[in-house]
Amino acid sequence: MAELIISGPAGRIEARYTPAEAENAPIALVLHPHPKAGGSMQDPITITLFEMFTKRGFSTLRFNFRGVGRSQGQFEAGPAELSDAAFVLDHLESLNESPSQCWVAGSSFGAYLCLQLLMRRPEIDGFIAVAPPANHYDLSFLAPCPASGIIIAGEKDIVAPPADIDRSLTKVRVQKGETIERANIPGANHFFQDKLKELEAMSVEYLERRLSEERPPAPEIKGRR
């Protein structure tokens, strides 16, 4: 894993990056939660998602939003951080000339931003959004949602209650052929304390299922005469 310093819109952006070994490997960008709740790229959920993508052959990058860690600027909790995410995605794509797929993921505030980024970047193929705070941010901007993904919540989350996510999703439309899946993890709170393994397992199941659906069939091998 490499430590990166990226020149961003508000100055230096601190990042961590693990390149894939395979040529044309898929790429994934992981966004961290709100700093006022202790969020940074060292957040346990962020690291869990980062390592999950890396283990499955993705070139994966996570970073600190402006004003967090060694990233310059002032955290603004909104459009400025979305600008950071778009800029970092550009950088990730510059490091990977022809990725087979592009995914975004995030937790809490980072989940909300990954959904916002999804609406602005047509190259994104899939997403994993963990506990987006739909009680604070309306998800109706997903109109229509251009790519399939999964939204995972903790059953006992009182910061971003699952019921609020479900209620917000009733206003959401998706493009033809795309699907937003929903899942709750029993007993999990907003920070998935003691439930990170369950979160990883659920994310892995979804990611591997999607990758198998996207993978082209093996070419038929004809015997020699």
Query: Residue 88 falls within a domain, yes or no?
Result: yes
Q: What is the pLDDT of residue 37?
A: 86
Give the whole-angstrom CA distance, residue 108 versus residue 120. Answer: 19
Domain containing residue 173: CATH number:
3.40.50.1820
Query: Residue 225 falls within a domain, yes or no?
Result: no
Q: What is the pLDDT of residue 36?
A: 87
- Whether pTM > 0.85 for this model: the answer is yes
Query: Residue 99 falls within a domain, yes or no?
Result: yes
Residue 179 lies in domain: 2-214
List for the chain the helix, strand, coil content (%; round to 5): 30, 25, 45
Provide the CA 124 distance to its chain's centre, in angstroms: 10
Query: Residue 71 falls within a domain, yes or no?
Result: yes
- Low-confidence stretches of the chain (pLDDT < 50) are 218-219, 224-225
Query: Residue 222 falls within a domain, yes or no?
Result: no
Number of domains in the chain: 1
Query: Residue 170 falls within a domain, yes or no?
Result: yes
Query: Residue 29 falls within a domain, yes or no?
Result: yes
pLDDT tens digits along 85-114: 999 999 999 999 899 999 999 999 999 999
Query: Residue 157 falls within a domain, yes or no?
Result: yes
